[in-house]
Amino acid sequence: MSITYYNLAQDGEKFLSPHFQVKEFADPSDYERVPFPETIPIHDKLPEILEKIYNNFGCTCGSINSGYRSPEADVDVGGTGGGPHTVGIAVDVYFYKGNNPVPSRLVACFLKDLGIMGIGLNCGGNPNGTHFDLRHFGVWNDVNIWYGDEAKRDRNGNYALVEKGDYYSYTGTSRAEVYSNAGLSASSNTFPIPETVTNSYTTSEKMVDIIKTYEGFSPKAVKLTGEDYFTIGYGHYGSDVGANQTITDAEATELLRRDILKFENAVNTNVKVEISQSQFDALVSLSYNIGVGAIADSDTVQYLNEGKIGHAAVDIPSWRRGMGYQILAGLERRRQTELEFFAKGCDFILTENMNIRTGAGTNYPVKTVSQITANGREFVIDKTASASAVFKEGTEITALEVKAVYSPERVDVWFRCPSGWICARTGDEVYVK
């Protein structure tokens, strides 16, 4: 995600999402200025988040009161001339259901659940206005977390701060109120459940070849210990396989493709949220290995359907045991491949402050700030060159490489971002979403 510059005369009527046009992101305080800005920057993710709010609360209208402001206009309205509005990463917005406004306290709670790190409750002192900005998406020098209440000020005249952004406790709001439109309860997990979608992917040729590699080719029917039926070809198992049956590679490949159909259906049917082709491939491979029933009841799929993409990713390596609950090296290698398909290239948000190491494992040293990328230095707790490089909670990282580190006692998962390796899971603890 990045900043896009729009020409108001040419692009003003363009819809960036189903309910928000380019012209709505131009701040009214600039309309009276001469010259008026011809182009305005808009972060690509702003319309996406606005739509999530709109849909979660079943809105009929969303009104941006303030979007991009020129530095001069920002000063005119009491700003510093260099805040998030001046770089196109902030909006002040109101939402309505019919004639009824959606209270800011509900919107603020929802935004915090989405992982937004710049939130202003009661924007401008109005209980129905909400400010939010994308200060953690790497396009603004100030990346400090800010959770404020614009209806209150401290003795120095600064907006009151909301500790840890816990708008639920601060405003006395329940989860049932925030997610009532989606039918959620107060006991629901802390991740908003995404809109239910229907996936209709088919397995890629690359994954078909990978499944063939891991299953191995058996030209003759074999009966494995503890199994009721014979197996032949690329893992085909069932009552239709005879004791003395043989098969060619071409026949086995065609049989594999037919077998895969039911596992594709299992993934498409049980996964209720949108996933990518590579994530679908990973789940089909996992399902082919563990079975249709197991994938339907798995924590992996449950996490996905709850919107816990990070938990789903790091759960995949857990499926490493075969018959008799024995850990198998072959399954660990297969899970590593599936983990790569599922998580590589994806964006994740850290849920805790995390060390940046030189390799995948706690045995590797923590990097110093001077050893990480210049962009990464913006997100560390202590920017001193010689200090340990520790990313702040809420930092978004891209997993350029992923690795499961296995031991007899547990599974750890590590992601490599441009600055170095970060632990995504250790044992039962998960640090990404």
3-class SS shares of the chain: helix, strand, coil, % to 5: 35, 25, 40
In 3D space, the residue among 80, 84, 94, 85 whose CA is nearest the CA of residue 136 turns out to be 84
C-alpha 381: how far from chain center: 22
Our CA dihedral for 259, 260, 262, 264, rounded to 10 degrees, sits at 180
For 55-76, what is each residue's pLDDT tens digit? 889 898 999 989 998 888 888 7
Residue 37 has pLDDT above 80, yes or no: no
Domain ranges within the chain, ordered by starting residue: 3-182, 345-433
In 3D space, the residue among 107, 137, 53 whose CA is nearest the CA of residue 378 turns out to be 137
The CATH number of the structural domain formed by 3-182 is: 3.30.1380.10
Q: 215, 306, 338, 340: which one is catalytic?
A: 215
Q: Is 215 considered catalytic here?
A: yes
For 93-136, what is each residue's pLDDT tens digit? 999 988 889 999 999 999 998 888 899 999 988 999 999 998 87
What confidence score (pLDDT) does residue 182 get?
44
What confidence score (pLDDT) does residue 113 get?
86
For 164, left (φ over 0), alpha (ψ -120 to 50), or beta?
Answer: left
What confidence score (pLDDT) does residue 220 get?
95
